[in-house]
Amino acid sequence: MNRTPPSDRAQDGRIVASHGRDAIVEDGTGARIHCRLHGRRLAVVCGDRVGWIAATTEGGEGLITELRPRRTTLARISRRGEAEPVAANLTQLVAVVAARPAPDFGLCDRYLAAAEWEGLRGCIVANKCDLPESAAELDAVLADYARIGYVAVRTSKLDSIGVEALALHLDRQTSVLVGQSGVGKSSLINLLVPGVEAIVDEVTRATESGRHTTTSSTLYRLPTGGELIDSPGVRDFAPPLPAPREIAGGFREIAALASQCRFADCLHGREPGCAVHAAIADGQVSRRRHDSYQQMVKLAADLAARDPRIRR
Ligand code: GDP
Ligand code: ZN
């Protein structure tokens, strides 16, 4: 490979597709340049802002020389148990649930908590609303989320129900769709991004050099406004957990009450004078959400006890 050294001629760009050491950078004029990463230590993900220089490389036209600071980072836990970025500079996380496969609201709470910790907007989509099964349970849980201020949208790929409403919430945002496998994320992306398969083919053809051991991720511009980042790696990721004490920051209705607890360091477990428990008894805070919170506190404590160095 022809290695051109980094220089101060670096231009601003945005990563709109990433595939191992290859990436497609969009410059300020909207032109797309196939770039390779300069140097082993540089790693980028979709949504990153970078500095790049024109340079002929093996199959490419540019070299990415610099990663600009990330405003937000969405990470997953890698196989080695470390936090691994999967998308950058997101503004919104959309958690998708459905009646089938059986909804895992604990996972949904973990996604929404990850959004809170990272300062992202959280939004919930209940897909497959054409299915009658467990509709009452799903509706009740959605009402709980709506009560604490989350946007909740019902959708179905049949007749594209709710897809326009969802598109309105994606406008002006950079979003990801996350959720259990099988809830209908690909189906929704197909409805939101016309010609998505052709785009994926083109990106893969442009960026795959050598063996394709890595999955690619792509940033789509939605015809109705907004951006959507998709990659198999972000769809059902497990977000890393912070320290037990920081878990409450992921549950907005619990965090809002914490200052009213008797003890400043209340973990809203069994402490006397806990305002969160009083609110559960009054029906102001959902018991199900508090259960999710406690499970996450316990998991975070177990992980911290096992390896205090690793954040997960
Ligand atoms: P993903 O794993 O989350 O990407 O889910 P897919 O989009 O692959 O969908 C999984 C299955 O659910 C497929 O068989 C889809 O046809 C089906 N599916 C997706 N959306 C809907 C929907 O709105 N209603 C119904 N009845 N089935 C759906
Ligand atoms: Zn408390």
Question: Which numbered atom of ligand 1 lies nearest the CA of 181?
Answer: 2
pTM: 0.91
Please provide the DSSP assignment of 9-70 as one string. TPEEEEEEEEETTEEEEE-TTS-EEEEEESSTT----TT-EEEEEEEEETTEEEEEEEEPPP
Ligand 2 mean position, distance from CA 150 (Å): 23
Ligand 1 mean position, distance from CA 187 (Å): 6
Q: Atom 25 (ligand 1): residue with closest C-alpha?
A: 128
Query: Which pLDDT score is estimated for 212?
Result: 54
Kindly state the tokens that stand for 98.
């459905």
Q: Atom 10 (ligand 1): residue with closest C-alpha?
A: 182
Residues in the chain with pLDDT values less than 50: 1-2, 312
Query: Which pLDDT score is estimated for 202?
Result: 75
Residue 181 CB less than 6 A away from ligand 1: yes
- The closest ligand to the CA of 272 turns out to be 2
- The string of pLDDT tens digits covering residues 140-179 is 999 999 999 999 999 999 999 999 999 999 999 999 999 9
Ligand 1 mean position, distance from CA 181 (Å): 9
Helix then strand count (H, E) for the chain reads: 9, 13
Q: Atom 11 (ligand 1): residue with closest C-alpha?
A: 182
Residue 6 CB less than 6 A away from ligand 1: no
Instruction: Enumerate residues 6+ apart whose C-beta is below 8 A from 242.
Output: 117, 249, 300, 311
CB 180 within 8 A of CB 104: yes
Residue 158 CB less than 6 A away from ligand 1: yes
Ligand 2 mean position, distance from CA 199 (Å): 49
Residue 185 CB less than 6 A away from ligand 1: yes
Question: Which numbered atom of ligand 1 lies nearest the CA of 177?
Answer: 3
Q: Atom 19 (ligand 1): residue with closest C-alpha?
A: 184
Question: Which numbered atom of ligand 1 lies nearest the CA of 190?
Answer: 7
Q: Which of 24, 176, 214 lies closest to 93 in space, CA to CA?
A: 176
Residue 216 CB less than 6 A away from ligand 1: no
Pocket probe mutation, ligand 1, options 108, 157, 185, 196, max atoms within 8 Å of Cβ? 157
**Alpha-carbon gap, residue 167 to 222, rounded angstroms:** 8
Query: Which pLDDT score is estimated for 312?
Result: 46
Residue 130 CB less than 6 A away from ligand 1: yes
Query: Which pLDDT score is estimated for 231?
Result: 82
Ligand 2 mean position, distance from CA 276 (Å): 5
Amino acid identity, position 79: R
